[in-house]
Amino acid sequence: MAKRKRKKRLKKSKAASKVLQLMDQDYSYQKALAKTLREDKRLSKKKLEKELDRYI
């Protein structure tokens, strides 16, 4: 029997999820990103934007 290849499911970070949730609440991408980055100073804007590229 041939083995099926499963698609690897992408797991969103909490920060990426927060940006997407804020966008669902009528925030623009830039405002949602800025709010998320303000709330957690350890986040890298560059890395977060790279991750969000998969979903937006």
DSSP structure string for 1-53: -PPPPPPPPP---HHHHHHHHHHHTT--HHHHHHHHHHH-TT--HHHHHHHHT
**Given this model, what pLDDT does residue 9 score?**
74
pTM: 0.81
Number of structural domains in the chain: 1
**Given this model, what pLDDT does residue 39 score?**
96
Residue 2 lies in a domain: no
Residue 45 lies in a domain: yes
DSSP state of 56: -
User: In this structure, how many other beta carbons lie within 10 angstroms of the beta carbon of residue 17?
Assistant: 13
The owner of tokens 């991408």 is 29
Give the list of residues 6+ apart from residue 40 with CB closer than 8 angstroms, or none: 15
Residue 31 lies in a domain: yes
Tens-place pLDDT, residues 15-42: 999 999 999 999 999 999 999 999 999 9
pLDDT band at residue 4 under the 50/70/90 scheme: low
Residue 26 belongs to domain spanning: 14-52
Residue 1 reports pLDDT greater than 80: no
